[in-house]
Chain A
């Protein structure tokens, strides 16, 4: 992240001819071959404006491109379909120069009109995109509809100018989201609502076959505009496969990557066997599991009580319950996120201190409350561990284990005093600290129905967040990150959350799979970056 920011700082406001190739291809990489990836759940859709599951996220990344992209295996931005871009001195106007000769899978050349069409489409309420909100900074977003965004203009066939209504330091990340992928209008019109089943993009792969509920086949896009990639001829996705079955098939050599990871029951067996453990790549994940404490509901309106809860939860034990596949957390940001405060100590596990705080709040005898949790394993188990920890300081938390939709409803409506976020937790949409604030800790999400389940709203922290996000000048990036660290420290002081753990990723691959480890724990393409891995 920092590396890219310093390198572009020099050329800011100056059209870039072409960024140096920032990724060194693997010298051992071989072209050809096919791999098999498995998933339990069927793939919902491959429409980049709609898809928002963790399994279709990386698939869409391989079928489509946006103006911006990430260096494989990292959180570093690099230009995608834009060859270069230029930011006006006030940070409000972004001018993207498009790459020449990029073709859609249908053979037509991609132009600036397609970029505008795609952004208009994703923000049009008729599209019902779950990602529309990310584009809120573009001028004319409020009036978005069939008429399109007034802030997106086609200058010529190879130039797009995007005007913002406020400076937004994360805007280039937004342009790298799947939601900002460029799609051809004629294909969308032809497929109508079924575009998600017949996707046409500019990506490294194209969809060759999709048998609902059984399998999908991605085929190499021979005309891909990035030279040399992808290496693989085919990626076969088999759906409806139990994680346990997928793992056994991997051991049999029938599967190359089990998309749902290593199932809990098999985890110790795999990690205990050196030969199998060698096929596992471990890495961080931009994820935090947390408990929200509803600050509008007594007694959680008292900061002492919230701090006491923070001290009462034994995070070490909770990570033990999930076989140590996570690291205890002490702040909202995960360690792999820029802006993570390494030196921040957080609230240590201390039952006596927690009791003292409860007494200070006048609740030495404790109280009774509800803990909401999604009803799929391991979440009810984690909730029970939390429940036992809270009992130690006199809090009787009744578990409400419900379907995902019911928990989200209770959280949004503000009726749930406590929610364990597992299963619905926050995995960052893009690698920037702001992504953990706005909708889940800021005032914007605290209204009726919002995802800020704590209903925490601190005007001074919100102001700081806005200030940080208006520091669009990459030269000020370190200051910006420092400001974000301050925001999160401020949040933790008031303790609307109990950050519990950051999940670690364990990707298992077959022996024949090649490519550096980083590609298998790519922070953006989960589980693997299909464009760059290869078969040995």
Chain B
């Protein structure tokens, strides 16, 4: 177990290293000069060169990347080129908003997805099942920005139930979280349905039914916990898809999270911010996968650690 954990940890670190390298390469070949952005429009060629030297951007690629890594290892993400603020501070100031939205979004997709999945499994083969499965197909086929705009239009503009974007109160959280929930629910409802069907077929459920226990009781007390467990392990894997959605949802709802930070930084090639956000997102994905793998054997004893 410990050895396995250590190996996975090293693998994850290598993946992060790879992500940082590829991102750095991409930003290095980007046809845009961050120094021009810093120096401003009235700058002389001399000023531009001075700034380039100070930031070490005149150095060969490997030297630049090496320096970045050396700082990264000490937990230093560098300073934003344009804001001169620590990237770590910028990310930590935005992270609570993103994490809040993530947690609320994951909760929403689980509630929606599991409910739909259970209902569909219980109505298996009937009309309700088909409607629910069709719904799940629609949600996985809908682009995030269309659902976001639709939710905004119906519930904020037309009905006025929620604020049109923004951040601060619980009311602000509802629409973006539900939007993320709807988008992710299709995936969970389909998995939940299969998982539930499988569990309902299992011997112990048949036994329980045979013992004369009520259908509701069997479903809630016996089938549900067993069917849900494998799904829980999937949350970790889902984080990658989720991170992509969050950038768009933040942008439509004006949610002040790291997605917005990244988008502004890309416009102005603020390399330290882009690197920081990419690494934090990759970290979230890697940790999510790691947790999913580690939890899986506890939940489902049939899975053994490789």
Contacts and interface: CB of A to CB of B under 8 A. Distances in A.
B164 interface: yes
Nearest to A448: B45
Contact of B36 (A45, A125, A449): A449
A440 interface: yes
A388 interface: no
Contact of A449 (B33, B260, B264, B267): B33
Contact of B41 (A128, A242, A439): A439
A405 B267 contact: yes
A412 interface: yes
Interface in B255-282: 255-256, 260, 264, 266-269
B84 A405 contact: no
Contact of A212 (B93, B254, B267, B269): B93
B39 A406 contact: no
B165 A132 contact: no
Given A130-B40, A136-B44, A44 B34 contact: no
A131 B83 contact: no
A133 B85 CA distance: 23
A438 B41 CA distance: 10
Nearest to B47: A132
Interface in A237-272: 239-242, 244-245, 248
B256 A404 contact: no
Given A245-B166, A409-B31, A131 B84 contact: no
Interface stretch (A72-80, A192-200, A357-365, A466-474): A192-200
B42 A134 contact: yes
B258 to A, nearest CB: 10
Interface in B115-167: 163-167
B165 A245 contact: yes
B32 interface: yes
B43 interface: yes
Contacts of B44: 133, 136, 444
B84 A245 contact: no
Given A47-B84, A245-B254, A408 B37 contact: yes
Interface in A389-439: 403-406, 408-410, 412, 429, 438-439
B32 A403 contact: yes
A227 B45 CA distance: 43
A213 B86 CA distance: 14
B167 A240 contact: yes
Contact of A40 (B47, B164, B254): B254
B222 interface: no
A336 B299 CA distance: 72
A408 B36 contact: yes
Contacts of A408: 32, 36-37
Contact of A133 (B40, B54, B255, B269): B40
Given A50-B84, A125-B50, A409-B33, 9 more contacts: A45-B85, A125-B51, A126-B54, A130-B38, A194-B84, A405-B267, A406-B31, A412-B33, A449-B33
22 contacts: A45-B83, A45-B84, A125-B54, A128-B39, A128-B54, A129-B40, A132-B47, A133-B40, A194-B84, A196-B83, A196-B85, A214-B167, A241-B254, A242-B165, A242-B166, A242-B254, A403-B32, A403-B267, A405-B30, A405-B34, A406-B30, A440-B41
